[in-house]
Structure 1
Amino acid sequence: MGLNNPPRPSEASIWYGKAAEAGLPQAQHNLGLLRAEGRGVRKDIILAYFWLKVSSQKLISSRKALNNLHKSQKFSKDQIRKINQLLRAYYYKN
């Protein structure tokens, strides 16, 4: 990626993933959006919700995206359980 190159979501997702794991809220937000839309990565609503929830602690834009995801997606009990497991593990580690 650069000024003269078109963005490549698959490459961006790698770097967003590294930055998200390091705790950068904007990267967490962007990775959540990529996961929700399946751009450059496998579409995964659970991971999308997870990253948007983590970044929503710091970013209003993530709260809005999380709200939109809630409105557009019906989560099963199993999906909610998996999201909560990911959140517990993340917050325990950090």
Structure 2
Amino acid sequence: MSTATEHTDHGAHGHPVKIQVTVNNQSVTLTEHRMTGLEIKQAAKNQGAAVEVDFQLSVRHGNRYEVVGDDDTIAVHTGQVFLAVAPDDNS
């Protein structure tokens, strides 16, 4: 589904970029090489992943996960694995 406000990067040959990642064990296609944590969560949610924008996002680096804040911009690449978890409710 494409909208007029959607931004799509283009590779060296002018083709739209399609970066396949995994968010909570679901395949998600990202369309930019650099994205914020919030943009990644929004893309995942828009593609049917069980993710909400208030979830905490982390990216796997080897055998550990590093938190990606909503305003943190990271380089994304094919094969990256993300984990998004609901915030703790300690009430």
What interval of TM-score do these two structures reach, taking the shorter chain for normalisation?
A: 0.3 to 0.5
Normalising by structure 1, report the TM-score: 0.31
Q: Where is the helix percentage greater, Structure 1 or Structure 2?
A: 1
Query: RCO (CA 8 Å, sep 6+): is it higher in 1 or 2?
Result: 2
